[in-house]
Amino acid sequence: MPVSEREQSMNTNAIKNVVIVGGGTAGWMTAAALSKVFGQRLSIHLIESEEIGTVGVGEATIPQIRVFNGMLGIDENEFVRSTQGTFKLGIEFADWLRPGHRYMHAFGAVGGRDLGSVPFHQYWLKMRLVNQAAALDDYTFNSVAAYQNKFMRSVNMPNSPLASIFYAFHFDASLYARYLRAYAETRGVRRTEGKVMHSRLRGQDGFIEAVTLESGEVVNGDLFIDCSGFRGLLIEQAMETGYIDWSHYLPCDRAVAVPSESVTPLLPYTRSTARQAGWQWRIPLQHRIGNGMVFSSNFLSEEKANQQLLDNLDGKALSEPRVLRFKTGMRRKFWNKNCVAIGLASGFLEPLESTSIHFIQSSIAKLVALFPDKQFSDVDIHEYNRQTRYEFERSRDFLLLHYWANERDEPFWQYFRHLKLPETLQHKIELFRSQGRVFKEGDELFGEASWLQVMVGQNVMPERYHPVVDLRSGDDVHSMLSGVNKLLRDCVSVMPDHAEYVKKSCRGISESVKTA
C-alpha cells in the first residue's frame, strides 16, 4: 500500500472526538493533559453540571503531581498562588499505633547513602536493638525539616540533602480544577454546562455512541471518559461494568468534611490522627485548613463523627460539615469498550495516603501511553486494566497495613487485628519481620522508604538485621548514624520557615492567620 493510502487509512481510524463526562479535578486534569499532548488533533468536549458539584476534598498530594504539572508546563509559583497552595514534605500519623504515639511518613530517602548492597535502615536496626539509635524520623531529612516547619526547594549543592528535596502540595481542589479549566479552554477544549440524562449504546457491540443532555442536546464521540464521580454515569449506569467491594478490608464508608480558619504555624505536612472508629485529616492551605473525619458507620454514627470532628479543630469552623458516603473498592474494568473511567468513577481508596489525585494522574498517563484508534484493541485495553488493577491492589495493601498493625483498644481497631490479610500484604510483613527486607515490586506506587517508615511507625519490627551489617563494628555504625543525624539537622537549620517561603517565593499568604 502506498504511503499516502496508509496515511489515509490511519487517519480514518484515528480517534477524533473525545467526550469527558464530569468536571472537577478528574475531568479538568484529563482535559488539560489530552489538550496538551494531542493539541488540535483531538476535539475534546467536557460536559459538567454546576448543580451536581464535586466532592472537592482531595487537597493533599504526593510528589508525582509535580511530574504532571511539569508536563503541562505550569509555572509552580503561579500554580501555588492560584490554588492557595502550600508545600508538603510528608504525612504525620498521630495516635495510630496507640494514643500519644506519632511518626512521619516522609517523602524521599531514609538516612544517608546505602553502603554497598545494604540499605541504611539495616544499620539503624542494629543500633536500635541495643538502644543506641534515635527514632527513624531523626534520620529522615523531610521528617526533620517538617517537624521544624522548614521548607525550601532543592538547591545546587552536590552530595547534600538540600540537593534533592522531595515534596508535594496541599491545595484547594476546586481552585485547581478552575485553574486547569482555563488552561484547557485556551487549548480548544469545549465545555458544556448540563446533565447527562441518557447514554445511547451501539446495538452490535455495546459501545457508547452518544450521550443526551437534559437540554435535549446529543453529543457524539469516539472515546468517552467517565469523570462523573461515585455515580459512574457511563462506566456503571450505562455499561454495567461491575464493582469489586473492598469494605471487608477497609470498612470506612463515611466522611464528614469541614474547612476551618487558618492558624500558625503553617505546617509543611498533612496530619492524620486516629480516632475512635476512623481517622481525622488536617490539610493546611494558605487561606484555611481542610479537615475531615473518615469513619465506619458500623462503629460510629454520623452525628458522633460530626461532633468528634468539630471538637478537634484548631480553628473556627467556616461552614457546616458535609457528609460523604462511599464504598471502598474498584471497577471490574476501568476501561470497558470505548469508555474509560477516571477518578472516583474508577474506584475509591480513602485518602489516607493522598492517593486520589495521583490515581487520576496515573490513569491519564496510562491512557496516553495506550491511546486507542477506533478499532479499540483488546490487548491494549486489557493491559490498561491490568496495570490499573495492580496499582489499586498494592495501594490497598499499603493502606491496610496502617490499620492492621495497631495497639488500640476500641472495637473498630480490634477488628483489624483479627483480619485475614491479602497474601500480597502478608508476604510483605513476613519478609520485613524476618530481617528487615523490603522491596518495591513492579509498578506499585509506594516504594521501599514508604513501606519501611509505616512498618516501623506501626511497630512491625524485624527480629534480626542483615548479616552484612556486622562487617562494621558497633562503634563505627553508631558514629555513622550520629553523623547522618547531625548532617540533616545542620542542613535543616539553614532552611527558611515554610510560611515565609510561600510568602516570598510564591507571593502567597496575603492575610494573617491566627495563632493556635
pLDDT of residue 503: 95
The pLDDT value recorded for residue 80 is 96
Mean pLDDT of 58-72: 93
Residue 50's pLDDT band, with cuts at 50, 70 and 90, is confident
Could you tell me if 203 and 311 lie in one domain? no
State which of 285, 306, 323 marks the end of a domain. Answer: 323
The whole domain housing 54 covers 15-59+172-248+328-376
Stretch 368-390: mean pLDDT, rounded? 98
> Residues 308, 337: one domain?
no
Is there a domain that residue 177 lies in?
yes
Domain termination site, one of 339, 355, 376: 376
**Residue 230 pLDDT greater than 90, yes or no:** yes
Statement to judge: residues 269 and 372 lie in one domain = no
Same domain, yes or no: 210 and 342: yes
Task: With beta carbons less than 8 A apart as the criterion, state whether 33 and 150 touch.
Answer: no
pLDDT value for 7: 53
- The reply to whether 237 and 334 lie within a common domain is yes
How far, in Å, CA of 339 to CA of 321, rounded? 34
pLDDT of 303 strictly over 80: yes
In the predicted structure, residue 407 carries a pLDDT above the cut 50: yes
Choose between 114 and 290: higher pLDDT: 290
What are the Cα distances from residue 376, in Å, to 60, 115, 223, 236, 380? 35, 48, 9, 19, 8
For the segment 168-196, what is each residue's pLDDT rounded down to a tens digit? 999 999 999 999 999 999 999 999 999 99
Average pLDDT rounded to a whole number, residues 481-487: 95
Is residue 179 domain-shared with residue 299, that is, in the same domain?
no
In a shared domain, residues 190 and 240: yes
Which amino acid, one-letter code, is at 264? T
Q: Is the pLDDT of residue 511 over 90?
A: no
79 part of a folded domain: no
Q: For residues 186 and 228, state if they share a domain.
A: yes
Strands 86-88 vs 168-170: parallel, antiparallel or unpaired: antiparallel
In this prediction, residue 509 carries a pLDDT of: 65
State whether 341 and 236 are in the same domain.
yes
**Poorest-pLDDT segment among 117-121, 204-208, 396-400:** 117-121
| Residue 278 in domain | yes
| Section 221-230 average pLDDT | 97
Name the pLDDT band for 516 (thresholds 50, 70, 90): very low
Contact between 300 and 323 (Cβ < 8 Å): no
Asked whether residue 9 is assigned to any structural domain, the reply reads no
Instruction: Compute the mean pLDDT over every residue in the chain, rounded to the nearest whole number.
Output: 94
Instruction: State yes or no: pLDDT of 421 exceeds 90.
Output: yes
> Which one of 343, 376, 409 terminates a domain?
376
Lowest mean pLDDT among 76-80, 128-132, 300-304, 489-493: 128-132
Query: Would residue 222 count as lying in a domain?
Result: yes
Model confidence pTM above 0.85: yes
Average pLDDT of the residues in 462-473: 93
In a domain, 263, yes or no: yes
| Same-domain check for residues 233 and 347 | yes
- Is the per-residue pLDDT at 35 higher than 70? yes
| Feature table: binding site | 23-26, 88, 196, 344, 353, 357
Annotated binding-site members for 7-chloro-L-tryptophan: 88
Q: Is there a single domain that holds both residue 177 and residue 242?
A: yes
Band the pLDDT of 512: cuts 50, 70, 90: very low
Q: Is the pLDDT of residue 160 over 80?
A: yes
Q: For residue range 90-114, list pLDDT tens digits in order.
A: 999 999 999 999 999 999 999 977 6
Whether 269 maps to a domain, the answer reads yes
Question: What distance lies between CA 183 and its chain's CA centroid?
Answer: 22
pLDDT at 158: 87
Q: Is the pLDDT of residue 138 over 70?
A: yes
Query: Which one of 88, 150, 333, 337 is the catalytic residue?
Result: 88
Q: What is the mean pLDDT of residues 277-303?
A: 97
Identify how many contiguous H helices and E strands the chain contains and give both numbers.
15, 23
Does the active-site annotation cover 88? yes
Handedness of CA 327, 332, 335, 339 (dihedral sign): negative
Contact between 457 and 93 under an 8 Å Cβ cutoff? The reply is: yes
In this model, does residue 386 exceed pLDDT 80?
yes
pLDDT average, residue stretch 194-213:
95
* Amino acid 12: pLDDT: 84
Do residues 367 and 244 both lie within one domain?
yes
Residue 202 covered by a domain? yes
CATH code of 239's domain: 3.50.50.60
Question: Which amino acids are annotated as binding site for L-tryptophan, given as ranges?
Answer: 353
325-350 per-position pLDDT tens digit: 999 999 999 999 999 999 999 999 99
Asked whether residue 141 carries a pLDDT value surpassing 90, the answer given is yes
Domain count, the chain: 2
Look at residue 201 in the predicted model and tell me its pLDDT.
Answer: 97
- CA 28 vs CA 19, 234, 341, 355, 509: distances in Å: 12, 17, 14, 17, 26
Tell me which of 17-26, 370-379, 435-444 is least confident: 435-444
